[in-house]
Amino acid sequence: MGMSFISYLINGLSLGSVYAIIALGYTMVYGIAKMLNFAHGDVIMIGAYTALIAITQSGLPPVAGVLAAVVVCTALGVVIEGVAYRPLRNASSSLAVLITAIGVSYLLQNIALLVFGPNAQTFPSVIKWDGVSLADGKLNISGVTIVTIGACILIMILLMTFVQKSKQGQAMRAVSEDRGAAQLMGINVNGTIALTFAIGSALAAIAGVLLCSAYPTLTPYTGAMPGIKAFVAAVFGGIGSIPGAFIGGLLLGIIEILGRAYISSQMADAIVFAVLIVVLLVKPAGLLGKKIQEKV
């Protein structure tokens, strides 16, 4: 019981790390562009397919495959933002860009459907390392798990440093506080938002590879549910907050895996959503979100 609990916990941390990486992209885009990018999950799927093609058909080494996925997704993110979202940034309703994002999501899924077909494809093992065995072989932690958790922590640290220390990071914070004021201060708002989409999409590519390494079946709809879950994770932690997305993602992964193991495997999603509801009812702005009160 004890060992299996620890092993579930580690699996949860691993899944949670994937959610956290996706949620980081979600939350950055939300913080800066103030939009829910419903197509974010589908960028994950495109990233995974890119890596799959690069590794299995072009015979590239796994690292190059991951790099290819990052490059493709980064470009994709910037193009989507520029073509579909930017024209709607000052639209009279914020729903307009939300619906367009849904359209982009359908578009990416259907392109994948046409190019790769509806059948599930097996993702190659990118991480060859077998992992470690602890407690006399009672506790095995796979290489994928360790790499995923490590990657998530590394990304989180890099992202925090970037946002806090770099000039572009400061620009991001300024745009997220007040876009108009940032523009007046001479910050390139369009460039900053495009950069945010680029970073978010690059993270999505990494998340796609890690997700498919752990759960190696890939279909055009692979990204949809993790995308929604990561969105939940971002809201859970307080949308717009980078540490919030990190913590929200990890907690979500742990809750999902423990729920699946100890309560009911069919109801794992319902449990995740129920926890979200409870958290939001107690803390309406999420765990680390700021509550903004309207001034009268």
Question: Judged by CB under 8 A, does residue 282 bind other proteins?
Answer: no
State the CB neighbour count (10 A cutoff) for residue 141. Answer: 18
Name the one range near other proteins by CB under 8 A: 97-105, 125-133, 188-196, 242-250: 97-105
Q: Two tokens at 27?
A: 């939350």
Question: Judged by CB under 8 A, does residue 270 bind other proteins?
Answer: yes
Question: Judged by CB under 8 A, does residue 103 bind other proteins?
Answer: yes
Question: Judged by CB under 8 A, does residue 91 bind other proteins?
Answer: yes
Query: In a 3-state reduction of DSSP, which class is residue 142?
Result: coil
Q: Tokens 């073509």 label which residue?
A: 83
Question: By C-beta, is 75 or 114 nearer to other proteins?
Answer: 114
State the CB neighbour count (10 A cutoff) for residue 111. Answer: 14
Question: Judged by CB under 8 A, does residue 95 bind other proteins?
Answer: yes
Residue in 1, 57, 59, 90 binding other proteins, rule: CB under 8 A: 90
Nearest to 33 by CA among 86, 70, 78: 86
Question: By C-beta, is 30 or 246 nearer to other proteins?
Answer: 30
Residues in 169-228 at the binding interface with other proteins, rule: CB under 8 A: 228
Q: How far apart are CA 129 and CA 145, in angstroms?
A: 10
Name the one range near other proteins by CB under 8 A: 49-57, 66-74, 133-141, 266-274: 266-274
Within 8 A by CB and 6+ apart from 72, the residues are 46, 47, 50, 205
Q: How far apart are CA 21 and CA 156, in angstroms?
A: 8
Q: Two tokens at 182?
A: 């940032």
Q: Applying CB under 8 A, which residues contact other proteins?
A: 30, 36, 38, 84, 87-88, 90-93, 95-96, 98-100, 102-104, 106-107, 110-111, 113-114, 228, 231-232, 235, 239, 264, 266-267, 269-270, 273-274, 276-277, 280-281, 284-286, 294, 296
